[in-house]
């Protein structure tokens, strides 16, 4: 029976360190074996103490939140989460004192020097990786399952991430005596300052190996091209990112993998402009169509539709075709398609048309100064 650490202390998952300390002090008062009558007091006390130790350590709490209770407990049993193992520098985790707030002097120095004393052997989540993908507007409309390749670090298959062959001889690093860290004491105007650094010889592992893995050169990871599939949801906007959980860089020391973030760019379209979930389309119509009205075909991303033009439609007038835009990414339905009428002024009139238009103008009492020489030149050039 293992209980979530947050439940043990009765705090929310986003409780501050102060709230956790406070909750722990209350539990400690309640269950302190010297005080409580509860027959399970000692066990409850220990649980509360463990919960407090983990949740008040930023690194451990982050690991705990990422790994979940069960996996964290397993890793903890192997000692893999023990941030202060052998470091001698992380200060007390309360030691034997249940009311101790942790935080020996070295904690302060670690903060001072950017926490150089973190244990390199602790499980760590792999980094998030990023890639880009370009899709058509049609694909953004329909949604698409896209296969793609990405070159990413993966755990070395030869050594399984160890960086050395399994049968390599292993010895304790003499530089740091297996601690993975070296401590340097400096005399400063403020007094003696102790600085803890990752051991350069063993790179924090605390052990040296007689052989290095030939495949990864000791890194424990190799660059590999992976082919993956991602479902791009209908309605995705240009510049939005998709997250593929666990497809990033491998975690270290049993930590979880990072994620892969795919930034999607949606290509432009020859017919449509997009604004959020709405689409815009310019429909070219002739002067007679605008004058007399007509039924025109308007393309959409889902086949074409017919739209009625009223007689006397003006150039620049805009009509809304409801629900003919892009699907909404989160939520139901579609945006709209806005159709802007563009009345096209003809540029290649034949003589008959020209005369008809002149007659049209004159019938309206309009005087049009037609450049006869212009038409003359056009006629002669034909
Ligand atoms: Zn390897």
Strand 221-232 and strand 294-298: the pairing is unpaired
pLDDT tens per residue across span 87-109: 333 333 333 333 333 334 444 44
Q: Does pLDDT of 282 surpass 80?
A: yes
- pTM, two decimals, is 0.58
CA of residue 220 to ligand 1 center, whole Å: 5
Residue 196 has pLDDT above 50, yes or no: yes
Q: Rounded to the nearest whole angstrom, what is the distance from the C-alpha of residue 212 to the centroid of ligand 1? A: 8
For residues 286 and 334, membership in a common domain is answered with yes
Is the confidence at residue 75, as pLDDT, over 80?
no
Q: What is the mean pLDDT of the chain?
A: 83
Give dist(CA 155, CA 138) in Å, integer: 37
Query: Bridge partners of 266?
Result: 135
Q: Evaluate whether residue 254 is within a structural domain.
A: no
339 and 361 share one domain:
no
The CA 132 to ligand 1 mean position distance, Å, reads 29
CA 86 – ligand 1 centroid, Å: 26
379 lies in which domain range? 348-382
Asked if 121 and 206 touch (Cβ cutoff 8 Å), the reply is yes
Residue 18 placed within a domain: no
Q: What is the secondary structure of 87-151 as a DSSP string?
A: TS-S--S-TT-TT-----HHHHHHHHTTSTT--TTS-BPPPPEEEEEEE-HHHHHH-EEEEEEEE
Q: Is the pLDDT of residue 117 over 50?
A: no
- Pick from 46-60, 99-113, 364-378 the range whose average pLDDT is largest: 46-60
User: How many domains, the chain?
Assistant: 2
CA of 222 to the centre of ligand 1 (A): 8
In a domain, residue 381? The reply is yes
Band (237; pLDDT cuts 50, 70, 90): very high
Structure confidence at residue 102 (pLDDT):
38
Integer-rounded Cα Rg, in Å, for the chain is 36
Around Cβ 248, how many Cβ atoms within 10 Å?
23
Question: How many Å lie between the centroid of ligand 1 and the Cα of residue 179?
Answer: 23
Domain CATH number, residue 275: 2.60.260.20
Task: Decide if 177 is inside a domain.
Answer: no
Residues 292 and 326 in one domain: yes
pLDDT at 156 over 90: yes
Flag whether 92 is in a domain: no
281 and 337 in a single domain? The answer is yes
Query: Domain check: are 339 and 353 in the same one?
Result: no
The pLDDT confidence band at residue 301, using thresholds 50, 70 and 90, is: very high
| Residue 210 CA to ligand 1 centre (angstroms) | 14
Which regions of the chain does DSSP assign to beta strands (E)?
A: 129-135, 144-155, 170-172, 181-188, 191-198, 207-209, 221-232, 241-244, 260-266, 273-275, 278-285, 294-298, 305-309, 318-321, 337-343
Rounded to the nearest angstrom, the distance between the alpha carbon of 161 and the centre of ligand 1 is: 6
Q: Give residues with Cβ within 8 angstroms of 158, minimum separation 6.
A: 213, 214, 215, 216
Poorest-pLDDT segment among 31-45, 105-119, 166-180, 361-375: 105-119
71 CA → ligand 1 middle, Å: 25
Q: State the distance from the centre of ligand 1 to the C-alpha of 163, rounded, in angstroms.
A: 5
Percent of the chain at pLDDT > 90 equals: 44
pLDDT in tens, 266-276: 999 999 999 99
Nearest to 272 by CA among 302, 242, 234, 300: 300
d(C-alpha 259, C-alpha 290), whole Å: 55
Rounded to the nearest angstrom, the distance between the alpha carbon of 224 and the centre of ligand 1 is 13
Please give the distance, rounded to the nearest whole angstrom, from the Cα atom of residue 73 to the centre of ligand 1.
28
Residues 337 and 364 in one domain: no
Q: How far is the CA of 67 from the centre of ligand 1 (A)?
A: 25
pLDDT above 70 as % of the chain:
83
Residue 223 has pLDDT above 50, yes or no: yes
Confidence of residue 62 (pLDDT cuts 50, 70, 90): confident
CA of residue 248 to ligand 1 center, whole Å: 18
pLDDT score, position 44:
80
C-alpha of residue 168 to centroid of ligand 1, in Å: 12
């Amino acid at each position: 029976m293992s209980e979530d650490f947050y439940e043990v202390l009765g705090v929310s998952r986003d409780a501050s360190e102060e709230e956790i300390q406070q909750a722990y002090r209350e539990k400690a008062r309640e269950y302190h074996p010297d005080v409580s009558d509860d027959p399970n007091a000692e066990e409850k006390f220990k649980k509360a103490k463990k919960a407090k130790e983990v949740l008040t350590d930023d690194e451990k709490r982050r690991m705990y939140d990422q790994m979940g209770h069960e996996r964290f407990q397993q890793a903890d049993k192997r000692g893999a989460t023990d941030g202060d193992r052998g470091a001698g520098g992380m200060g007390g985790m309360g030691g034997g004192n249940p009311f101790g707030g942790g935080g020996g002097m070295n904690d302060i120095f670690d903060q001072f020097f950017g926490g150089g004393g973190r244990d390199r052997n602790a499980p760590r989540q792999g980094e998030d990786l990023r890639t880009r993908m370009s899709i058509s507007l049609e694909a953004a409309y329909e949604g698409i399952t896209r296969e793609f390749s990405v070159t990413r670090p993966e755990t070395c298959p030869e050594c399984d991430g160890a960086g050395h062959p399994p049968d390599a001889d292993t010895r304790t690093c003499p530089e740091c005596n297996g601690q993975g860290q070296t401590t340097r004491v400096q005399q400063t105007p403020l007094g003696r300052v102790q600085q803890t650094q990752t051991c350069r010889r063993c790179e924090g592992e605390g052990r040296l190996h007689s052989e290095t893995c030939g495949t990864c050169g000791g890194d424990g990871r190799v660059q590999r091209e992976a082919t993956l599939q991602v479902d791009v949801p209908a309605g995705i906007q240009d510049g939005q990112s998709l997250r593929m959980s666990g497809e990033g860089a491998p975690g270290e020391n049993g930590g979880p993998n990072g994620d892969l973030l795919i930034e999607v760019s949606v290509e432009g379209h020859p017919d449509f402009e997009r604004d959020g979930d709405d689409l815009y389309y310019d429909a070219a119509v002739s002067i007679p169509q605008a004058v007399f009205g007509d039924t025109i075909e308007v393309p959409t991303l889902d086949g074409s539709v017919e739209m009625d033009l009223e007689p006397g439609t003006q150039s620049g007038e805009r009509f809304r075709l409801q629900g003919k835009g892009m699907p909404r990414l989160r939520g139901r339905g579609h945006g709209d398609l806005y159709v802007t009428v563009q009345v096209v002024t003809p540029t290649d009139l034949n003589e008959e048309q020209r005369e008809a238009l002149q007659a049209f103008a004159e019938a309206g009492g309009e005087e049009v100064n037609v450049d006869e020489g212009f038409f003359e030149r056009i006629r002669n050039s034909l």
